Structure 1
Amino acid sequence: MAKSKRAARALQIAVVGGGWAGCAAAVELARAGHGVTLFEASRTLGGRARRVALDAGVLDNGQHILLGAYSETLRLLKLVGVEPRRALLNLPLQMRYPPGSGGMDFVAPRWPAPLHLAAALLRAKGLARADKLALARFSSTARWMGWQLHQDCSVSELLERYDQTARLNQLMWRPLCLAALNTPPERASAQVFLSVLRDSLGAKRAASDMLLPKVDLSALFPDAAAAFAVRHGASVLTGATVTGLRQLDGGRWQVEARGEAAGGAFDGVVLASPAAHAAQVLENLQDPATSSIATQLQAFETEAISTCYLQYAPGLRLEQAFFALVDAPAAGHWGQFVFDRGQLDATQPGLLAVVVSASGAAAAQGQTALAEAIARQLAEVFRRPELASPAWSRLITDKRATFACTPGLSRPGNATGLPGLTLAGDYTASDYPATIEAAVRSGVLAAADYGAAP
């Protein structure tokens, strides 16, 4: 890997926010020779993809699937000393449901693209001939279109336009849309969905691989990123809440903070905090440019994600590391994917994690009721009565997990219009939805404004 060019002049840069975007920016800035101070309000790095310490032990605040297409994430993992082959379970593209649950079995072999998809389609079980033809037609048409739309619309409209079957929508397109965009198909951006498909299904075979973390999310990148930055002279301050920014004479910036940090003056600031906090900081600057961005961010709708952890006897295992689930709220089936954590991390035997994306309605059931419903769902679809009675369960819901990725949504760029102040976060302008890769790419772009080149 080529080394980055060092900045023409070493600057003192504050990075506000220790999520994946902030950590990516800190790594690139420190590598370029800048003096970096990273401020994180929490005691744990990682933002909305981090570990949490609970009475039950260390869990993640949400179960994630990465893709082989996450090129910047994988590059930075290697850069900070994390070996993807050891930290991630690499599985071929698949959409597999529990046998007998009314789903399908779709697995792509590790063949060159696009033969891997053709083979998966031919071998798929649980899809009728009409379903397979519809999927092939959609894929070929999307390629012919260059994965681009003249005008954005909802994913549901796109699927209807290309005559996708009801069964294919239920078993393939809806779960993929929820997993990737965390927005229901009837409200999700078709163009962003196509961009995700372009870089996974429409790219080389390895790009469609599904990567499951085998370590907690903070250990996967943020912790190693912070250690890398510190080795390159950075300071990492946790428990340090930034309350505001102030422009100083000479183009410098004052960072106002509370906690274990007293703030300080810097040549530049990368504002990598969540969209709501960034909007507040930008609005308080009372500058027309930043006020406009603040108004833009305040208009974002948010979507929740819930992850239900269920602990069973240590010997309990599923037939594979994860399954898709048919979500049917009317039947009390809220779960969309289930992961066998014991197959990912040997220290978590018997622990299952069930994900509910766009979980507003599900979370409204209440923590206890939703956890019990998910346990019953698992018992029914796997035909294993013991799954209805876990030793304990824990539901973690992030009510502002992502922005709602709706058609035509206008997202701000990294530039704020003020010299020395740059935005970073999964909500900045991108053809990707609010994913780990979008956050990392944004952090890298923000660092590039200060001469830090990958």
Structure 2
Amino acid sequence: MKAAIVGGGWAGLSTAVELAKAGVGVTVFEAAKQLGGRARSVDLHGHRLDNGQHLLVGAYCETLRLMREVGADPERLLKRLPLELRFPASQPRPFRMRLPRLPAPWHLAVGLLSARGSSLAEKVGAVRFLRFLQDTDYRLGDDCTVSALLDGHGQRGSLRRRLWEPLCLAALNTAPAMASAQIFVNTLRDSLGGGRAATDLLLPAADLDRLFPEAAAHFIRARGGEIRLSTRVAAIDDGFTVCGEHYDHAVVAVGPQHAPALLGGHAQTRGIAQLLSGYAFEPIATLYCGYPPQVCLPFPMLGLDDRPAGQFGQWVFDRGALCGTAGVMAFVLSGHGAWETLDNAALAVALQRELASTLRTRLPPALWYQVIRERRATFSCRPNLRRPAAATARDGLWLAGDYVCAEYPATLEAAVRSGVAAARGLLLSAPPPTGRRASAGDGNSAPRSLRHG
């Protein structure tokens, strides 16, 4: 049995790994010169960096499982830290919350109640809010915006500004005023509502290629699969002929902005193409600044205060503490905002000024900087957004991508889960390739919990 995987991002590679493990002959077609999709490595100013700074959490169960499956050791490639949020420039007082290494749910209760920079009333209100979510099994009667959810449960003050809203923007890449409350609650269920390890921050200690794509490609090739780079697929015909070669099955694993071109020409998938054509998208920008090696942060990840007029910053990461690239800082801006009106030079000046103010020190001039803007980095995760399933009405054609994983926002974990679901659905629908019946129980089944990105 042969399967064509159109798209070499994390969703497509996850599909290919699962199918290759089951004995299917897979070919991955990727239009770019490298694998990884929107989570890939780039060479900048003599450094191997990423096309955007990514953040994982301990509840990325399927991502961690698949990394181990292909031989990419998460313990070596990811820096695991207890969840800690620091906003040194927060007003009227600096904000800091750290979850201690205690059994759940005590780690969360102690972390919230000991948070600095918030009032006792806010802390008690946050505990009550989480208790409400637990009592309702994290299911809302009707979806609404995150802002409406927080308003309805009296979440105000510094915990709203420094915990709930930043978590929403980081996980959904959509402003709280427009973001789906139910999807946000799902992420809280599987992170703050999960075990203690589920809340850990997993910060990449290596470039994104080494995190998964390189090892996945080696895994696929070692099992007879093929990886074809710089190969754009314009159409998948009725007989699943791709680039002149026939396949028994095909998996469309490209982004939702590209999928309609492959789906719109067939009656069975035209409805999905129309659905995806109506999606809105959100940007992400990453500013890399190279300073002298002695420049560092007091913690690998710091929050910047974007509330005052004229300030845009959200998060800054110390790549020296994470990956050994001393002096390199990565500023991340998620979702639509006033920062989009600035050109690259003005944005670099503004963010460096905000960092100096946050650290209360004068920074040396940057040796270099680079801005990477992904204008359609993720779909806009809004209330009641319709999402397609992995299986399509066209027999033998499957979908994989973060937009297919209906419970979660556009994260690496959602992409990986969608790829695993597509592969297992394909195997269940097809004759076993190795003389045995493929089942959803083969290998490790995907756990229910997610945790972002």
Cα–Cα, structure 1 residues 176 and 100, in superposed 2: closer, same or farther, change >3 Å? Answer: closer
Q: Does the Cα contact within 8 Å between 1:21 and 1:443 map onto a contact in 2?
A: yes
* Cross-structure match for 1:136: 127
Residue 35 of structure 1 and its aligned partner are, at CA, apart by 0.4
**CA deviation vs aligned residue, 1:347-402 (integer Å, no higher than 9, x gap):** x1000101110045312211111111111110111112116x31111111100100
Which secondary structure does the structure 2 equivalent of 1:36 belong to? strand
AA matched with 1:255:
V
Residue 450 of structure 1 and its aligned partner are, at CA, apart by 2.5
Q: Given the alignment of the two structures, is residue 379 of structure 1 paired with residue 356 of structure 2, yes or no?
A: yes
* Cross-structure match for 1:442: 418
Q: Given the alignment of the two structures, is residue 358 of structure 1 paired with residue 335 of structure 2, yes or no?
A: yes
* Cross-structure match for 2:449: none
Alignment of 1:148-159 (within 5 A): 148-159=139-150
Cα–Cα, structure 1 residues 53 and 360, in superposed 2: closer, same or farther, change >3 Å? Answer: farther
Q: Given the alignment of the two structures, is residue 19 of structure 1 paired with residue 31 of structure 2, yes or no?
A: no
CA RMSD of aligned residues (A): 1.4
* Cross-structure match for 2:174: 183
Q: Given the alignment of the two structures, is residue 199 of structure 1 paired with residue 190 of structure 2, yes or no?
A: yes
**CA deviation vs aligned residue, 1:173-195 (integer Å, no higher than 9, x gap):** 11110000000000000000000
AA matched with 2:242:
V
* Cross-structure match for 1:368: 345
**CA deviation vs aligned residue, 1:259-283 (integer Å, no higher than 9, x gap):** xxxx411000011011121111101
Give the counterpart of 1:111 among 93, 102, 110: 102
Identical counterparts, % of pairs: 46
Give the counterpart of 1:127 among 96, 118, 122: 118
* Cross-structure match for 2:161: 170
* Cross-structure match for 2:318: 340
Residue 93 of structure 1 and its aligned partner are, at CA, apart by 1.4
Residue 116 of structure 1 and its aligned partner are, at CA, apart by 0.2
AA matched with 2:361:
R
Q: Does the Cα contact within 8 Å between 1:103 and 1:126 map onto a contact in 2?
A: yes
Distance 1:278 1:100 in 2: 42
Q: Does the Cα contact within 8 Å between 1:103 and 1:171 map onto a contact in 2?
A: no
Q: Does the Cα contact within 8 Å between 2:255 and 2:401 map onto a contact in 1?
A: yes
Cα–Cα, structure 1 residues 49 and 272, in superposed 2: closer, same or farther, change >3 Å? Answer: same
AA matched with 1:420:
G
* Cross-structure match for 1:4: none
Distance 2:404 2:224 in 1: 28
**CA deviation vs aligned residue, 1:267-305 (integer Å, no higher than 9, x gap):** 0001101112111110123x1x31100010011100000
AA matched with 1:447:
A
Structure 1 alignment gaps of length 5 or more: 1-10, 257-262
Choose 134-143 or 28-37, whichever is displaced more.
134-143
Q: Does the Cα contact within 8 Å between 2:179 and 2:383 map onto a contact in 1?
A: yes
Give the counterpart of 2:376 among 391, 400, 425: 400
Q: Does the Cα contact within 8 Å between 1:15 and 1:36 map onto a contact in 2?
A: yes
* Cross-structure match for 1:8: none
**CA deviation vs aligned residue, 1:409-429 (integer Å, no higher than 9, x gap):** 000001121011100000114
Q: Does the Cα contact within 8 Å between 2:405 and 2:414 map onto a contact in 1?
A: no
* Cross-structure match for 1:327: 306
* Cross-structure match for 2:431: none
AA matched with 1:431:
E
Residue 449 of structure 1 and its aligned partner are, at CA, apart by 2.1
Q: Given the alignment of the two structures, is residue 265 of structure 1 paired with residue 256 of structure 2, yes or no?
A: no
Q: TM-score, normalised by structure 1?
A: 0.92
Cα–Cα, structure 1 residues 99 and 277, in superposed 2: closer, same or farther, change >3 Å? Answer: closer
**CA deviation vs aligned residue, 1:78-123 (integer Å, no higher than 9, x gap):** 0000111110000111211226764411000011000001111222
* Cross-structure match for 2:242: 255
Choose 407-416 or 126-135, whichever is displaced more.
126-135
Distance 1:38 1:178 in 2: 32
Q: Given the alignment of the two structures, is residue 291 of structure 1 paired with residue 267 of structure 2, yes or no?
A: no
Which secondary structure does the structure 1 equivalent of 2:171 belong to? helix
Q: Does the Cα contact within 8 Å between 2:282 and 2:376 map onto a contact in 1?
A: yes
Q: Does the Cα contact within 8 Å between 2:90 and 2:305 map onto a contact in 1?
A: no
Q: Does the Cα contact within 8 Å between 1:424 and 1:442 map onto a contact in 2?
A: yes
Give the counterpart of 2:289 among 304, 310, 315: 310
Q: TM-score, normalised by structure 2?
A: 0.92
Distance 2:418 2:200 in 1: 23
Which secondary structure does the structure 2 equivalent of 1:246 belong to? coil
Which secondary structure does the structure 1 equivalent of 2:377 belong to? strand
Q: Does the Cα contact within 8 Å between 1:275 and 1:297 map onto a contact in 2?
A: yes
Q: Does the Cα contact within 8 Å between 1:46 and 1:218 map onto a contact in 2?
A: yes
Q: Given the alignment of the two structures, is residue 209 of structure 1 paired with residue 200 of structure 2, yes or no?
A: yes
AA matched with 2:134:
R
Distance 2:159 2:347 in 1: 27
Structure 2 alignment gaps of length 5 or more: 428-437, 444-453
